[in-house]
Chain A
Amino acid sequence: MDPGTFCGQSRVLVVAGKGGVGKTTVTAAMAQMAAGLGLSVLIVEVEGKTGLAAAFGAEDLEYDERDMAPRIRARSLTPDVALVEYLEEHGLHRISKRLVRGGLVEVVSTAVPGIKDILVLGKVKQLERAGVADLILLDAPAAGHAVSFLMSAKGLKEIVRAGPLQSQADDVLSMLTDPSRCRVMLVTLAEETPVNEVVETAFALEDRVGVDLAPVVVNGLYPVLSGLDADPVAAGADAPVLAAAAEFRRRRQELQQAQVARLAGALPLPQLHLPTLFTVDLKPADIDVLASALAAAIEALPARTEVA
């Protein structure tokens, strides 16, 4: 599939995955790829510091948009801020500051679980409707929580049966369930527990929320290195070390391939494979490498993905 077509499928792409699988890395790579195609991108981060800004070599994100790279902006959108903004817009403007200091946010969000999530998603919907960017990437909360985050609209409709909050939930739900407006891209590693969790999350999201799932990203794969089977005897004294390191990588690749196959069997979604970069700190140059890998993986997808 053409990467441009891929990016044009929906304006909002939610990137979700369990902690530690590289969700932020994938978000950054996706943004870079889209920007490289000439699209404007807005990244919305809903949790504390994720390291996204640092990966672009920028300062930490704030409520106001900040430039990350050419055509890439990013901002944070925390639930507390979203709630205050909402209350201000709905008749509590004069006293809202005082009430917030007095703990209103805690009481209201306890009385209506999911309200913070729905307001964050409501704000994202507003951004989507306003067309603030060609592609809006939402760096979702860690999986597990991602399900409840995206479920919040449905849950809320059962609690609040009328009023502005209900119409907000309706609007969010229609965005989430419209594949031409919003899709969810799950990220995982080729390891036992992350694979189990991504399968569970995928089914929960499809069955319980009704969102459209984009191909699943399998991150951190050892790049295939041909010639790993060469006999290192010519290296003399270094031979044992070279052999041990090669054996380690072969074994890891086998284990990863087994998990990739297991994922393919359990989850009927196309996969996008991203390589590990053998680094602990992500730098702008690394994002470029991953963006190219992502583009190549997307190009390898069939033009039209039919999902069973």
Chain B
Amino acid sequence: MSVADLVADREILVCCGPGGVGKTTVAAALAVEGARRGRRTVVVTIDPAKRLADALGLGTLTDAARRIDGDWPGELCALMLDPRSTFDGLVTKYAPDPDQAETILANRFYRNIAGALSGTQEYMAMEKLFELHNDDRFDLVVVDTPPTRNALDFVDAPRRLTRLLDNRLFRLLMIPARTGMRAVNFATQAFLRTIGKVVGSEVVTDAVTFFQAFEGMEDGFRRRAQAVQALLADPCTAFVLVTSPRRDAARETEFFAEKLEEAGIDVDALIVNRMHPRFPAVAPAATGGGLSSLYQNLADLGRLSDGEEAHVAGLSRRVGAPAVCVPELETDVHDLPGLSRVAGFVFG
């Protein structure tokens, strides 16, 4: 299936790949193409470079979709992920009453989860995707993913929180909630004291308070996580692997592709950004004639292209999708014409 078909038919496009390859730009270009093809498109960006954010009307961090006007039959909206407010929204949604929601939102342990737990940003990107997919205003959701080294971080993200809530230590900490603090058994108290000695007792108190306040909400979160997982596995979702042929990125992409394969995720399209131009090889002239630098340059660039193309071919075989190559542009993309240009390369 071509990238054009994906943009025309699917409901969700997840752009994933290592950091520093131009993933945000590619995601935005796919979204522009969606609007051009008449679809009501929304693109979720994560930490775009400032000038691109400005071009998309995202000068300030906002969790709400902003409309971008353009000459297309469809619609284009963009938003920048705000993991914290997305998470707060989830807590408010699943808390049985506003007081409990308030207790959780103010808890320091919760604030750490929302702000610093590894995988939270990924989790919230997936959550946002789920939310927007269910939003009647849109029929195509394009999501950029956080620059992570481990491909599984975002696929696995929803499960990560439920694992935290499900773990044995959590159950141990829940005992006080059920039986009253005084009745905490001796072993647990000794254990909490030991932990407190290492990390500080305030930290332990915060954690215990959080888990107590969270009791009863795990089911909601777990069901939601399952629904998000199911949506990612649904045929209406396509995974687009975005990469570049640069040395460090090439290595990371191999690792990334390997992890996706292990997770049973089919890559539907492979976009290789920033390819160097291929100049035809010529046999060096026997006579130097002062042209040796020119021949040297051609050989240098040819060697680079050889390496890039071999890497792209290997990756393409591995993920079982043809590679769509985008040339390295002279400047960064910071406006809609620039995005249209990138789209032009992707969609031929």
Contact = CB atoms under 8 A, between A and B. Distances in A.
Interface stretch (B91-99, B217-225, B292-300): B292-300
Interface in A184-199: 191-194, 196
B199 A111 contact: yes
Dominant secondary structure at the A interface: helix
Given A165-B199, A282-B247, A241 B291 contact: no
A276 B301 CA distance: 11
B348 interface: no
Contacts, number: 215
A206 interface: no
Interface string A272-300: 00001011111000000000000000000
A105 to B, nearest CB: 10
Interface size grouping (class) on chain A: 35 or more
Nearest to B199: A112
B297 to A, nearest CB: 5
Contact of B18 (A20, A23, A99, A144): A20
Nearest to B255: A49
A4 interface: no
Question: Most A CB atoms within 10 A — which of B170, B200, B303?
Answer: B200
B161 to A, nearest CB: 10
Contact of A246 (B19, B112, B249, B294): B294
A160 B108 CA distance: 13
Dominant secondary structure at the B interface: helix
A301 to B, nearest CB: 25
A267 to B, nearest CB: 18
A102 to B, nearest CB: 3
B245 interface: yes
Interface string A131-146: 0000000000010100
A106 B167 contact: yes
Interface string A23-50: 1110000000000000000000001111
B169 interface: yes
A281 B306 CA distance: 11
Given A20-B246, A248-B301, A280-B250, A102 B167 contact: yes
Nearest to B309: A280
Interface string B295-319: 1111011011001101100000000
A47 B298 contact: no
Nearest to B150: A48
Contact of B149 (A47, A106, A113, A278): A47
B198 A20 contact: no
A280 B247 contact: yes
B225 to A, nearest CB: 15
A266 interface: no
Interface stretch (B82-90, B129-137, B175-183, B279-287): B279-287
B168 A103 contact: yes
B112 A160 contact: no
Nearest to A20: B20
A66 to B, nearest CB: 18
A104 B295 CA distance: 61
Given A92-B194, A104-B169, A278 B300 contact: yes
A108 interface: yes
A238 B200 CA distance: 73
Contact of B332 (A86, A192, A280): A192
B21 A20 contact: yes
A110 B21 CA distance: 30
Nearest to A95: B191
B236 interface: no
B248 A110 contact: no
A278 B304 contact: yes
A154 to B, nearest CB: 14
Contacts of A113: 112, 115-117
B59 interface: no
A234 B294 CA distance: 12
B164 A107 contact: yes
Contacts of B252: 19-20, 51
A50 B251 contact: yes
B309 to A, nearest CB: 9
Contact of A235 (B115, B160, B249, B291): B291
Interface string B221-260: 0000000000000000000000011111111100100000
B294 A228 contact: yes
B304 A242 contact: no
A71 B223 CA distance: 54
Given A18-B19, A142-B19, A230-B294, A111 B279 contact: no
Interface of A: 18-25, 47-51, 54, 86-87, 90-92, 95, 99, 102-104, 106-115, 142, 144, 159-166, 191-194, 196, 225-228, 230, 232, 234-235, 238, 241-246, 248-249, 251, 255, 276, 278-282
7 contacts: A112-B112, A112-B200, A115-B199, A142-B19, A228-B293, A232-B291, A235-B289
The 7 A-B pairs with the shortest beta carbon distances in the complex, nearest first, are: A103-B167, A20-B20, A19-B19, A227-B293, A280-B307, A102-B168, A113-B116
